[in-house]
Amino acid sequence: MLYSGLHSEKKVYFIYFQDRPIVEYISRRRCQQAIHTIQTMSNPPQKSSGVQFIRIRHEQAGQRIDNFLITLEKGVPKSRIYRALRKGEVRVNKGRIKPTYKLQADDEVRIPPLRVTEKPVIHVSDSLAQTLKQQILYEDAHLLAINKPSGLAVHAGTDIQTGVIEALKTLHPDTLFLELVHRLDRDTSGCLLVAKSRQALLHMQNQMRSQSMDKHYLTLTAGHWQQKQTMVDLPLKKNTVIGGENMVTVDEAGKTAQTCFLIEQSFRDCQLMAVKLFTGRTHQIRVHAASQGHPVAGDSKYGQRDFNKLMKTSGLNRMFLHAWQLTLTHPETDQPLKLVAPLPSELRLFLDHLNTSLAT
């Protein structure tokens, strides 16, 4: 059954079948619920073929058995997994274990047949596959870094079937572990780091928590900053609803957030800024820049409409925010590793245009 999703016309929502509307709703939520029900009925749970025995490899060790099963058995409700653990259906080295048990290398895990929902087939287009291959900045047995293009989500979501991580997993079927170390907004380009083992992931996460990983961005902001260097130390709070939209706001009840802005180049109406993050909050650079009266160019969420219009007229068709450099300690060698993501061609060309037409 081919259901193409939602279509809105005068606040009436339709379910489409083979490009023809078959049901209409006045509530978007009810329409979404109906689509979910239809898709569930079209793809009923299936029983797995039998008992699985899995030998834990070195890169899988260190994680809790419940988290391991949740990741492994996609589509199985968590309640079913915890019931299997509680009843002793799941065994490690022939013995019962608690959900908090941490797996060790060479452990043998017995997993009973579980009812699962068949995984949807993820299709990675040839163009996306080629793009990701061309944008690899660094790869070894422990880490993978790419120069993520703007407009590409890092992971799938409600309206996004395939993100970077899903595409990478599809393109690397023999790699047992691939997980995002951090995230970038969909419209942000630049250095995105992926761990190829659980040990590498934990190592990178510890570096981020201890602020020993240096993250530098390039952004174009409205107006002229008063000082060459500005340190913004303002707490940020997520999920503040403004005008029906979830926003991140400066709020004393929020989490600590620190950003350093440094002027790199000045133009008539804007400045190119080098930015260093000391924390990694959602939308941190965008909100901190806007809080100083210098929002990011092309930012439709926190930006200035007139400034964005001026930038678009000048040729900017995306948000000017790029994850430029990432400096870290390699999880295996303990040696410093510096990753540099060159500015995408569309941003370089736009800066060239500013240099010739809007230079100060």
Q: Give the residue numbers marked as catalytic.
A: 185
CA–CA separation, 359 vs 15, rounded Å?
51
CB 136 within 8 A of CB 122: no
Using N-to-C axis directions, what is the helix angle for 164-171 and 126-134, rounded to 10°? 90
- 235 is written with which tokens? 């707490």
Spatial contact of 198 and 61, defined as CB atoms under 8 Å apart: yes
Among residues 299, 105, 100, the alpha carbon closest in space to that of 188 is found at 299
DSSP string over 76-100: S-HHHHHHHHHTT-SEETTEE--TT
Residue 250 region by backbone torsions, left for phi larger than 0, else alpha for psi between -120 and 50, else beta: beta
What does the alpha-carbon distance between residue 248 and residue 257 come to, in Å, rounded to a whole number?
12
Residue 201's nearest CA partner among 55, 59, 56 is 59
Q: What are the two backbone dihedrals, phi and then psi, of residue 350, each rounded to the nearest 5 degrees?
A: -65, -40
Number of neighbouring beta carbons within 10 Å of residue 261: 25
CA angle 64, 157, 170 (to 5 degrees): 70
- In whole angstroms, what is the distance from residue 108 CA to residue 93 CA? 5
